[in-house]
Amino acid sequence: MCSSEDHIDDDEVLLRRIPPTSDDFKTVMETIDGGLRATSGSMSTRRNETELSCSLLRLTTPKRLLENLDFHSIESSSWMVCRFLASDVRAVQLEVKHTPTEDDPGHCSITSESGLDFPKNSGKKLAKKTRILSQEEIAALSED
């Protein structure tokens, strides 16, 4: 772990909320080992977004991420949380910076290394490095 909240070590776990799959948008896919991972669409920015949001596990639990949806009147029961490492972000030539918000003290922003907009092909590369957490893992990682 790192001593400064602003510095993010390569071995730090990052979390991202993944919406439920719909007829129009597939958000997860099965992995070779039978688990689930996020799709490239789930790990890409939307129109008018220049960075991808995630959270540091050491500052924000998976449960809190989901509870923040409820706070904003979004039904969270079908949402999922994926995990990946800061080194995974850097391995696909992206940067991760700690950018806390009022709702999420662990909030981070993923951008291109050059500071330009989030590259379109990076979502696919990053998605392959994710793993969807089970309900049991969410509970265990959210214990005080």
Mean pLDDT score of the chain, rounded to an integer?
89
- The pLDDT assigned to 4 comes to 47
For the chain, how many structural domains are there in total? 1
In a domain, 101, yes or no: yes
Q: Are the C-beta atoms of 133 and 127 separated by less than 8 Å?
A: no
Token pair, residue 105, equals 């003290």
- What is 24-47 written as a DSSP string? S---EEE-TTS-EEE-TGGGSPPT
Residue 90 maps to a domain: yes
28 within a domain of the structure (yes/no): yes
Cβ atoms of 27 and 95 within 8 Å: the answer is no
Q: Kindly state the average pLDDT of the residues 7-26.
A: 93
| 37 within a domain of the structure (yes/no) | yes
Domain around 38: 13-141
What secondary structure letter does DSSP report for 140? H
Nearest to 64 by CA among 13, 25, 105, 8: 105
CA 43 centroid distance within chain = 8
Look at residue 20 and tell me if it is in a domain: yes
What is the model's pTM? 0.91
Per residue in 44-96, pLDDT tens?
A: 888 888 889 999 999 999 999 999 998 888 888 899 999 999 999 999 989 99
Mean pLDDT of all residues in 94-102: 93
Residue 73 lies in a domain: yes
- 3-class state of residue 82 by DSSP: strand
Place of tokens 């922003």: 109
80 lies in some domain: yes
**116, part of any domain:** yes
